Amino acid sequence: MTDVEELLREELRARVAAAEAARTDITPAVRLTELDTRIRRVRLRRRWTGAVLSAAVIAAGVTLPVVLRPWLRRARRAGCCHAGDWHRGHASRVCRRCPW
């Protein structure tokens, strides 16, 4: 352990001791129940955050192809070299409108 870690641990222990000394009217069983409740809330918050992020990624994965599909259809109709297989063997016929 480094000196910084030791100082941090000592500071945290001092804060815990001060908090326990300030709340002498509460029994240890009640403190344990409060701590369990706080831990449960944090876990639930993390689960919900993960679920929301996962839902956003899935929604983006579904939405982007649907949104980009009209561009692909227009590119196929226009004969874009990247939208179909007609350009194989025609290296001189490269579409200049494509960003690729």
- Domains of the chain: which residue ranges? 3-68
Tens-place pLDDT, residues 47-82: 999 999 999 999 999 998 888 776 666 655 555 555
Measured between alpha carbons, how far apart are the two ends of the chain, in Å? 53
Q: Which two tokens stand for residue 79?
A: 């004969």
How many helices (H) and strands (E) are present in the chain, helices listed first? Answer: 2, 0
Q: H or E segment at 21?
A: helix 3-22
Tell me the pTM.
0.45
Token pair 């919900």 is at which residue? 48
Tens-place pLDDT, residues 2-42: 888 999 999 989 988 888 788 777 787 888 898 899 999 99
Q: In the predicted model, is pLDDT for residue 83 greater than 70? A: no
How far is Cα 55 from Cα 21, in angstroms, rounded to an integer?
A: 45
Query: Taking Cα atoms as reference points, which of 54, 63, 59, 97 lies closest to residue 78?
Result: 97
